[in-house]
Amino acid sequence: MALGPLMLDMAGAELSAADRELFAHPAVGGVILFTRNFVDHEQLGKLTAEIHGLRTPPLIVAVDQEGGRVQRFRAPFVELPAAQLIGRRFDMNAREGIDLAREAGWLMAAELRSAGVDLSFAPVLDVNWGVSEVIGDRAFHRDPDVVGELAAAYMGGMHDAGMAAAGKHFPGHGAVRADSHVALPVDRRELADLLDDMRPFERLIRAGLEALMIAHVVFPAVDELPAGFSARWLKGQLREERGFNGAIFSDDLSMAGAAIAGDMPSRAAAALAAGCDMLLICNDRPAAEAVVDEIDAPAEPVAQLRLMRLHGRAAPGRAALVASERWRSALDLLEGNLGKPDFSLRA
């Protein structure tokens, strides 16, 4: 059985009979986990193993584990810094900032891989223009070139740990005030004025970025449709103009920013037609169940190849990870930086 184009969620810390039945559907290709699915490291490892054991090839298990205010798994997982903290270290000392970005990316990915999680939706590639509260400190910096440099280092750390990178939110969510979770943001700048926002994405694409998540934002100068439903953005600007060959993820189709495309089956059909390879449907099981039988599965062969690259590589278990020299070094680096009085979002 191949991977389908849907990534769905689950309610609890264990697979229910309904979960098992749904995840076995050929339209499903992945499972995204949230805080409600996590008890401790041992439980998480068992859960990911059970999810992987449902299918061949295994479903992709993903999570949002950026650090800062977007970190689904906490203790015993290390509390990771918000990206903006890494950017502030870069402003103080560029070399130290780059090193911190790489080790934060490695630590995040290494911990997840030790528990069997394939993918974290990171790094954030949005530019912090000082406008978007939903992005805010999730962005590395206000300078697109610094965002690109730090994100490339972060991605390098993820790769060292055996995890692909999934940047977000193309072509940029940092210049709109509205939060696409609850509204449909509109960015009225001309395409030429959006090029700065896209520079970090372009840099990581050149460096081999494996996946991108698309913003639920409308850019009327390019298309009246939100970027995630727009072939002009996905097939034109992303695939053709920028040569991106990785997997394209929709953002959560349950968000208010996706409502313009209609009911959930209509949203899914529109996102696939525009060029998405995998669609997220979260926190709405009835909607997910309404979509699975409406989707042609599996994904097309080229999309299959893109998705298969997102499975995590073999990685040490937690005991071996915690005993490693790099673990201690990474912890010392994070703790040393975060402990400095002038290194704070409150400054």
Which pLDDT tens digits describe the chain residue by residue (347 residues)?
Answer: 789 999 999 999 999 999 999 999 999 999 999 999 999 999 999 999 999 999 999 999 999 999 999 999 999 999 999 999 999 999 999 999 999 999 999 999 999 999 999 999 999 999 999 988 889 999 999 999 999 999 999 999 999 999 999 999 999 999 898 666 767 889 999 999 999 999 999 999 999 999 999 998 999 999 999 999 999 999 999 999 999 999 999 999 998 778 888 899 999 999 999 999 999 999 999 999 999 988 876 667 889 999 999 999 999 999 999 999 999 999 999 988 776 434 444 33
- Contact of 294 with 26, CB cutoff 8 Å: no
CATH of the domain at 317: 3.20.20.300
Report if residue 347 sits inside a domain.
no
User: What pairs with residue 60 in β-bridges?
Assistant: 30
Q: Which two tokens stand for residue 207?
A: 């460096």
Report if residue 1 sits inside a domain.
no
Tens digits of residue pLDDT in 40-67: 999 999 999 999 999 999 999 999 999 9
User: What is this structure's pTM?
Assistant: 0.95
Q: Are strands 211-214 and 70-71 parallel, antiparallel or unpaired?
A: unpaired
- Contact of 37 with 13, CB cutoff 8 Å: yes
For residue 179, the model assigns a pLDDT of 66
d(CA 164, CA 310): 6
Report the number of distinct structural domains present in the chain: 1
The residue segments making up the domain with residue 257 are 6-338
Report if residue 346 sits inside a domain.
no
Report if residue 28 sits inside a domain.
yes
Tens digits of residue pLDDT in 195-232: 999 999 999 999 999 999 999 899 999 999 999 999 99
- Residue 76, preceding peptide bond in cis (omega within 30° of 0): yes
Q: Which two tokens stand for residue 321?
A: 């990870």
Q: Which of 290, 284, 250 is nearest to 270 (CA)?
A: 250
For residue 344, the model assigns a pLDDT of 43
Report if residue 345 sits inside a domain.
no
How does DSSP assign 124-172, residue by residue? B-----S--TTTGGGSS-SSHHHHHHHHHHHHHHHHHTT---EEEEET-
Active site residues: 181, 251
- Residue 185, preceding peptide bond in cis (omega within 30° of 0): no
